[in-house]
Amino acid sequence: MHDSVLDPHHSVCEKPQTRRGIERRLALLLSATELFLDKGYDAVSLDDIVNHAGGSKASIYKYFGNKDGLFTAICDYRREMFFKDISMPFQPSQISLRNYLIQTLIRFYNHIIQPEHIAFLRLIIEQTQCNATLSKYLYEKCAQNIQNTIAQALLISHQAEEILCTSPDHSSLMYFGILRDIEWRVIMGMPLPTDEKEVIDYINYCVDIFLRGHHKV
């Protein structure tokens, strides 16, 4: 669920206790997402969501507090779905740092080029322009979260003396800069690379340069 700092109604929201309640809450999330992506956030009313998902507005107030709380819960849900296969802890006994960094970027790339992810990213950008609290919340929960995961991997490797990385936080920002061009293309609706092998070769090349800068190839 969303943090109380983001939703003043959070304290009165209820967490579903039954399977039916869980299914009802999820149905509202999915229906609202579909409508927001199709019509835009401002054009969708709570009545629209209820008519699309079934049930009543009482369920929205019960589980989310209000429309803003519902949108935040959608962001949380999609964040969990988006990052569950990307932001994975580094386990040096099972994978080398190089392969871990390469595979993380490849997974990230494959996720951000999906049309639905692109559409939702643009919706988030639109909403955060008029909601500084939401912007800060999503940055901390999304961008900063995955950057911290990479920073921790770099720190582990530094402590094992496999690389020299005295500022893992700064290095993690540099690392994600590898896909910055593709992210900009996604946001601005520019054509994306069509040759997947070329993208993978580019990722391998950049990770090697990145590690070389940390005294590791």
Q: What is the pLDDT of residues 88-99, one digit of tens each?
A: 899 999 999 999
Q: What is the mean pLDDT of the chain?
A: 87
Of 77, 188, 166, 64, residue with least CA distance to 55 = 64
pLDDT digits (tens, 9 = 90+) for 154-171: 999 999 999 999 999 999
Residue 131's pLDDT is: 83
- How far apart are the C-alpha atoms of 43 and 33, rounded to whole Å? 13
For 40-44, 56-60, 83-87, 149-153, which range has the lowest pLDDT when averaged over its residues?
83-87
16 — phi, psi (to 5°)?
-55, 135
pLDDT digits (tens, 9 = 90+) for 6-34: 444 444 577 877 888 888 899 999 999 99
Domains of the chain in start order, with CATH, are 10-74 (1.10.10.60), 85-212 (1.10.357.10)
Residue 146's pLDDT is: 87
Of 128, 115, 119, residue with least CA distance to 37 = 119
Which of 49 and 4 is assigned the larger pLDDT?
Answer: 49
Which of 145 and 161 is assigned the larger pLDDT?
Answer: 161
Plot region of 181 (φ>0 → left; ψ -120 to 50 → alpha; else → beta): alpha
